[in-house]
Amino acid sequence: MSETSPSDTPETPGGAGFDEMTRDIAEVPAVEVIVTVAVNLMSAAAVKLGLTEEGDKYKDLDEARKLVTALAGLLDASATEISSFHAAPLRDGLKSLQLAFREASVVPDEPGQGPGEKYTGPVYG
């Protein structure tokens, strides 16, 4: 039985798998990385808002608030870096999530105080 050092594992810097991942990521355009992260945030927020087939099983509005705010911040910060071709549908998805959050809240936030609204401005239902 041979022992492996932590640096030999694929997840750590210096491991063979990590070097391969680095090469793969190096070939991906920044816009694609930004859009992928945004879509992942949107998907996670939808789950936490109870918008999936499982409904309320994974619903957690505190977690949803964090994800929607992170998505809004990412889109705000990257607006000039990604084209409107990519940004427009992401902004539409963000607004839908913000509205879903407002509808799911027992006590809705004041306009301008909801998740991500410091980046997008008030969202009205």
CA atoms within 13 A on the CB side of 41: 24
Q: Locate all alpha helices (DSSP H) within the chain, ordered by sequence.
A: 16-26, 30-48, 61-78, 84-104, 117-120
Taking residue 77's Cβ as centre, other Cβ atoms within 10 Å add up to: 11
How far apart are the C-alpha atoms of 63 and 50, rounded to whole Å? 11
pLDDT in tens, 55-94: 899 999 999 999 999 999 999 999 999 999 999 999 999 9
Q: Does the model's pTM come out above 0.75?
A: yes
